[in-house]
Amino acid sequence: MMSDRRRMSEEGKESNMTLSDFCYEHTQVGELVVVRDEGYVVTTAYIDVEDLFSLNPRLSQREVIKDEWGRIDVTTEHGDKVAMPCHYVDLGGEATV
């Protein structure tokens, strides 16, 4: 049985969902999405209104291999650290040029 993060490809094989599809189908308004590649944060996306967000085109078609909820430290204008809830998304596959 396929998990909700996987879908059938045109050839009938299971494949991971792309980052763009993941953001459309598995996020909510007001959510902070933190995208990681090989453990490093490479970009973030804020889901402004339903289905409105911006992604780097080089990352949008990469496969999502894992997602989890966590917290990321954000620095305020006064230098204080605030732990913000976020949705971490880990990418797989090859980066496009």
Which comes out higher in pLDDT, residue 3 or 71? 71
Is 36's pLDDT higher than 50? yes
H helix and E strand count, the chain: 2, 6
Cα dihedral 8, 65, 95, 21 in deg (nearest 10): 50
Give the whole-number percent of the chain exceeding pLDDT 90: 66
pTM value > 0.85:
no
**What's the average model confidence in pLDDT over 3-13?**
47
